[in-house]
Structure 1
Amino acid sequence: MSASKPLKGIELVDCAKANARQGVEVAAELCGYGQDIISFQQELQQACQGMGVEISELSDLITEQQTVRQRGGVEIAPDSPSSL
C-alpha cells in the first residue's frame, strides 16, 4: 500500500529499506513519491544523512540479513530477548 503523502525522515528510510529489493520506481511509489524518482532520492539522501547513514543508492539499504533470508539461509536467534 502506498503512502497517501510523501514520507519523510525515518518513516521514509524504513519504507525505502523495506521495498529496496523491488527497485527505485516501486520504492518511490510506495513511499508516496509516485513517479518523482528524483525527489524521492533527494529526500532519502537527506533522511539518511540526518540519521548519520551514508548511502549512494537505494540498494545500500539492503542488509546482509535481508539477503540471507532472500536466499533461504538459516537465521539463528534466541527464543526471546531475555534469553540472550
Structure 2
Amino acid sequence: MASSVPLKGIELVDCAKANAAQGPTVAADLCGYGQDVATFQQELRQACQQIGIEVTELSDLITEQQVVRQVGGIEIAPDTPSEL
C-alpha cells in the first residue's frame, strides 16, 4: 500500500528496502513520493546517512536473504521427522 505522505527517516529506509527489488520508480511511489524519483533518492540517501548506512543506489538495500528468496535456493532437510 502506498504511503499518502512522503516517508522520512527509518520509515523511508524500511519502505525502500522492502520495495528495492521492484526498482526506484515503484519504490518512490510506494514510499509516498509519487513519480518524483530524484527527491525520493535524495531523501533516502539522507535517511541512510542519519542511521549510518552508506547507500549509493537503491539496490544497495537488497540483502542476500532477499535475493535467495526471489531466486530460490535449495532446502536441506531430512526425508521424515523421525530422521532428525
1:42 aligns with 2:49: no
Offset of 1:14 from its aligned partner?
0.4
Structure number with bigger Rg: 2
CA drift at 1:72: 1.2
Aligned residues: 76
Query: Could you say if the C-alpha distance between residues 75 and 11 of structure 1 is closer, same or farther in structure 2, counting changes exceeding 3 Å?
Result: farther
Moved over 3 A (4+): none
* Aligned position for 1:18: 18
TM alignment of 1:54-73, pairs within 5 A: 54-73=54-73
For 1:23 and 1:29, the matched residues in 2 are separated by 10
Residues 75, 51 of structure 1: CA spacing in aligned structure 2 closer, same or farther, 3 A cutoff? farther
* 8 Å CA contact retained: 1:28, 1:34: yes
1:8-40 C-alpha deviation (Å, 9 max, x unpaired): 000000000000010000000000000111110
Deviations 1:27-63 (A, max 9, x none): 0000000011111000000000001000100000000
C-alpha displacement of 1:74: 4.6
8 Å CA contact 1:16–1:58 kept in 2: the answer is yes
Provide the C-alpha distance between the structure 1 equivalents of 2:42 and 2:53, rounded to a whole number of angstroms.
Answer: 14
2:39, 2:75 → 1: CA distance? 36
What is the TM-score normalised by the length of structure 2?
A: 0.86
* 1:71 Cα offset (Å): 1.2
